[in-house]
Every structure is written in C-alpha cells, then in structure tokens.
C-alpha cells in the first residue's frame, strides 16, 4: 500500500512541485475571491436601493443563521479536507469508508437543521427581530424560506471539503464563481422586476438548489469512491470522531466569538442598525475573501506536508503564506481605515457613510488581525493540534462577551466593531506564539519581525500620509490622487520588505502573465 501510494503521488511529492501546487491553488483562490468581492460590491448598493436598509438587514440574517447553525457541522467539513489531503492511496480508496460516512451524516444534519428552523420560524422571528417595521407574517415566512435555502446549501460544505482536500482549487473556484454569479446577479434581476423581500429570498432558495446539484455532480466525478446512497461505517466513524469533535468544539467557541458582535447588534439594537452594520461588514469582507483564498489552499498543503513528515517543507510553506497574507490584506485594511467615509459615499450614499464609516474602520482592523492569525490556526489544526486554538478560544470567552455587551450598550454598533477588533488583536498575542513554539518550532519574534510589524507600519504610513495630504486639498480629483499615491507608496515599500523567495515568486508570476 505504501508503494502504491508513493507511485500515485510521485509527481507531486517533491518540495518544488508541492510548492508549485500551493502557488497554483492560491492564484485560483485569489481570482475566485476577487470575482466574489467585486460581485458583492456591485450588487450591495442595488440590494439596498430596492429593499431598503431595514429589509437588507433582514437579508443579513441569512449569514448570521448560517454561521449559528454551523455548530451542527460537528467539525466534519474540516475533517474531510484533512482526510482527503492526507490519503496518498489510489483514488483515495483508504479513506472511502470515512468519506461516505461523513457524507451520510452531513445530509442527515442538513435535513434536521432545515426542519428545526422551519418549525421554529415564529419563535426565531419574535426573539431576534422585535425592533422592526416589517410585519410578523413577512418575517416568519422569510425565515421559513431561509430554512429551505440553508438546508439546500448545507451539504455544499462537505463537497467543498472534498475538492479542497484534492487540492483542486481551480475547479472549486470555477464552481464557486459560477453559482455566486447566478445567485447575486439573478437576485438583482428579480428585484428589478419584483422589488419584494420574499421574492428575493425565494430566488436565493432556488439558486441554492442549483448550487448543490453542481457541487455534488462535480465531486462525484472527481472522486468515484463516493456513493450516491447513504453509507455508514461505525469503524470509520470511531477513527475520525476525536479529531472531528475537537474541530467542532473549536467551531462552537469560534461561532460565539466571531458572530457575537452581529448577534448583539441584532438583539440590543434595531434592524436598521443591523442593516448599517451589514453594509460596513460587506465592505470590510473583501479582507476576509483574500484571507479565505490563502487559507483554503494552505490547509490541505500544510496537512500534506505534515502527513509526509516534511517539517522543512511545512515551515517553508507556513512562512511564505504568512508573509503573503500580511502584505495582501494590509492594503485593503488600511485603505478602508483611512478612506472609509469616501468609499461608503461613492459606494452607497453620504448618509450611510456618516452612519457606518467608523464602524467599518474598526471592522477592517478586526478582519486584518484575524487574517494574519489565520495561518497559525490552519497550521495547528492541519498538524493535529486543534487543542491549541480551542484553549485560546475558551479563555477569550470570559473577557470578550462582557466587554461586547458593555460596548454595544454604550456605543451602539461602533461598540460591537471595537470589540471585534480587540478580540482579534488578542489572538495575535495568544494563538500565534503557541503555534510558533509548539508546531513550527520558531520564535514569536521572528513572526512579528517578518510578517506583522513591517507591513502594518508601511500601511499606516502610506495611507495615513495620503489621508493627511487629501485633507489639505479640495475634494474630488486630488483626493483620488492622494489615494493613488498612498497605494503606490505601499506597493513600493512592501516590495522591499518581502522575502527574497516571495519576490522571486511574484517576478515569475508577472513574467508568465505578460509573456
């Protein structure tokens, strides 16, 4: 079996080829995330225009419920990616029983989740959405439609996990870009002819059925050992439950920590406030999309290196992706921090900018810290040490939730964003040092010196200086010129701070692109 596995992956077994695969996957993830980001930026003003801020806030409830119900995942999606990426047998036959068991469990959870949300739609409406001008029947029916939407979308995470484990990010991103284009562009078309909240939600449910079909067909074609019918192996379940349980505990604590800000806004403030918060969140989420592009490629790559016993290769991948993450996410982060009001004014309106600019700046900082920490999290779980992020999350619960409650009550939605930024700053000085010491066997100072501090300093200097320059000039073209100058300074400064190997990768990519 070892010999056949070695023969099967010989083409990707060398450090050079595996690193090439990682670069290839990151590029496709960037392209997919860029397209999704552009779509989100393009359709959000139209959605707000047709629906209004309050109804748009209700649409934002979809994301909140999806993440809340993520606790039912049981850590299976991440476990699936690790199982597939660590299996070196022909067509992943060694992991076939485990994957088919996971698929059966995932479909059962999807059905259960949809039924629970549908039958409790009135309770959800009365508990979370008291401060709204929408009538109760519309809200209840809307949540029932969302239940169908989420139930159909649920198994997509399983199929995405399989494709990620196969390290086929090209296929994954083509599918993702296609189905999201259908959902978002189709949603705008529906609103144009029928500007109604329920019609918009029905379209989302229809698009989720198409999405599920596409993901299922492509996954079964790429991995024939998957079965269409239910299959459960108790022995396989026992083999994966410990890792899956640990991942589920992490997901539960992360769920509370990452979504508590929006839940607090929903519960303690009005639906209109949630609408403004959702707009600020959508503007900042471009940072999260960049983060996902790198994380989705790095997790299976880290797992592959660890399972092969190649620590030097693992460390090389980790250092490269960590520095790449910092240099890429710092640009949109500090651009939004210093020019958030201008961005929201051009994107939506002056009123929205006045209400949400400061909130968006704080969220952008939170997304930045979350992104630069994420590779440490990926390395911990890929290398079989999920206990590290779990302990960090458990400790965070005791301080974050009381602080969030106090900040929202005293500062409104800006308080929620401030709390979110503080939470992710905490991760920088808790999770990263643990991973550096116990997984990477490298000092925390090295990570700070090479990844975080240089690009943070360049970002603040470039865009902070551009903001000062813009404030000294009339609004209009000269403000745009200031932003361009800040961008140019950031790119030039960051280039000289990159490691030699990463600069070489960028040069090779540029030559191939223009050749």
Q: What is the pLDDT of residue 67?
A: 64
Q: What is the pLDDT of residue 236?
A: 61
Please name which of 244, 200, 315 lies closest in space to residue 75, comparing C-alpha atoms: 244
d(CA 315, CA 442): 9
From first to last of its 515 residues, what are the pLDDT tens digits of the chain? 333 333 333 333 344 455 566 666 777 777 777 787 788 878 888 888 888 877 777 777 676 677 666 656 666 677 778 778 777 777 777 777 878 888 888 888 889 888 988 998 888 777 666 556 677 787 888 889 988 998 898 888 889 888 888 878 888 888 988 998 999 999 999 998 888 888 989 999 999 999 999 999 998 888 888 877 767 666 666 666 666 666 667 777 877 788 789 888 888 888 788 888 888 887 777 777 778 878 877 877 888 788 778 888 888 889 989 999 999 899 999 999 999 898 888 888 888 899 999 999 999 999 999 999 999 998 998 888 888 998 999 999 899 999 999 999 999 999 999 999 999 999 999 999 999 999 999 999 999 999 999 999 999 999 999 998 888 766 556 778 888 899 999 999 999 998 888 888 777 766 665 55
Q: What is the pLDDT of residue 245?
A: 67
Please name which of 282, 286, 281, 315 lies closest in space to residue 298, comparing C-alpha atoms: 315
**Measured between alpha carbons, how far apart are the two ends of the chain, in Å?**
43
Q: What is the pLDDT of residue 376?
A: 93
Q: What is the pLDDT of residue 44?
A: 83
| CA angle (199, 204, 210) in 5-degree steps | 130
d(CA 298, CA 211): 25
Please name which of 273, 234, 263 lies closest in space to residue 54, comparing C-alpha atoms: 273
Whole-Å CA distances, 370 to 14, 139, 421:
31, 33, 9
Q: Where are the domains of the chain?
A: 14-514
Three-state DSSP class for residue 387: helix
pLDDT tens for each residue of 327-349? 989 999 999 999 989 888 888 88
d(CA 195, CA 55): 11
How does DSSP assign 466-485, residue by residue?
HHHHHHTS-SSHHHHHHHHH
Instruction: Judge contact between 200 and 46, C-beta under 8 A.
Output: no
Q: What is the pLDDT of residue 291?
A: 84
DSSP 386: T
Q: What is the pLDDT of residue 178?
A: 92
d(CA 35, CA 112): 33
Burial 287-300 (b: 16+ CB within 10 A, else e): bbbbbbbbbbbbbb
Q: What is the pLDDT of residue 85?
A: 76
DSSP 95: G
Q: Which residues contact 34 (CB under 8 A, 6 or more apart)?
A: 289
């Amino acid at each position: 079996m070892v010999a056949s596995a070695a023969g099967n992956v010989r083409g990707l077994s060398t450090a050079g080829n595996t690193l090439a695969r990682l670069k290839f996957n990151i590029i496709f993830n960037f392209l997919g995330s860029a397209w999704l980001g552009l779509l989100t930026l393009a359709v959000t003003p139209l959605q707000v225009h047709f629906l209004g801020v309050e109804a748009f806030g209700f649409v934002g409830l979809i994301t909140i419920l999806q993440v809340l119900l993520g606790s039912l995942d049981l850590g299976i999606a991440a476990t699936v990616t690790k199982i597939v990426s660590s299996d070196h047998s022909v067509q992943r036959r060694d992991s076939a029983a485990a994957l088919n068991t996971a698929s059966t469990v995932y479909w059962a959870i999807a059905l259960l989740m949809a039924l629970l949300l549908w039958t409790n739609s009135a309770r959800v409406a009365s508990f979370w959405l008291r401060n709204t001008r929408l009538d109760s029947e519309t809200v209840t029916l809307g949540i029932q439609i969302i239940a169908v939407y989420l139930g159909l979308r649920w198994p997509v995470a399983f199929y995405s996990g399989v494709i990620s484990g196969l390290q086929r990010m090209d296929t994954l991103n083509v599918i993702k870009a296609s189905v999201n284009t259908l959902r978002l562009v189709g949603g705008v078309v529906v609103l144009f002819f029928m500007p109604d909240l329920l019609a918009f939600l029905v379209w989302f449910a229809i698009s989720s059925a198409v999405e599920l079909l596409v993901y299922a067909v492509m996954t079964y074609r790429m991995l024939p050992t998957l079965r269409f019918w239910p299959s459960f192996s108790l022995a396989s379940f026992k083999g994966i439950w410990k890792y899956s349980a640990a991942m589920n505990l992490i997901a539960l604590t992360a769920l509370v920590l990452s979504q508590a800000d929006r839940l607090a806004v929903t519960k303690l403030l009005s639906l209109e406030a949630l609408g403004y918060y959702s707009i600020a969140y959508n503007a900042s989420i471009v940072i999260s999309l960049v983060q996902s592009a790198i994380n989705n490629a790095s997790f299976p790559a880290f797992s592959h290196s660890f399972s092969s016993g190649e620590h030097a290769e693992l460390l090389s991948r980790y250092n490269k992706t960590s520095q790449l993450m910092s240099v890429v996410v710092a640009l949109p982060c500090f651009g939004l921090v210093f020019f958030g009001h201008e961005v929201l004014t051009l994107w939506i309106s002056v009123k929205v900018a006045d209400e949400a600019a400061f909130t968006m700046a704080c969220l952008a900082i939170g997304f930045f810290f979350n992104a630069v920490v994420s590779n440490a999290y990926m390395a911990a779980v890929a290398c079989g040490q999920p206990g590290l992020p779990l302990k960090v999350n458990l400790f965070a619960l005791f301080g974050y939730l009381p602080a969030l409650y106090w900040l929202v009550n005293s500062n409104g939605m800006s308080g929620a964003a401030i709390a979110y930024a503080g939470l992710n700053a905490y991760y920088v000085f808790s999770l990263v040092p643990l991973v550096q010491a116990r997984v990477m066997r490298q000092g925390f100072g090295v990570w700070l010196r090479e990844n975080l501090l240089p690009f943070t300093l360049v970002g603040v200097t470039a865009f902070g200086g551009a903001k000062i320059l813009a404030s000294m000039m009339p609004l209009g073209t000269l403000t745009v010129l200031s932003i361009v100058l800040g961008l140019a300074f950031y790119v030039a400064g960051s280039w000289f701070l990159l490691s030699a190997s990463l600069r070489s990768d960028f040069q090779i990519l540029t030559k191939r692109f223009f050749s």
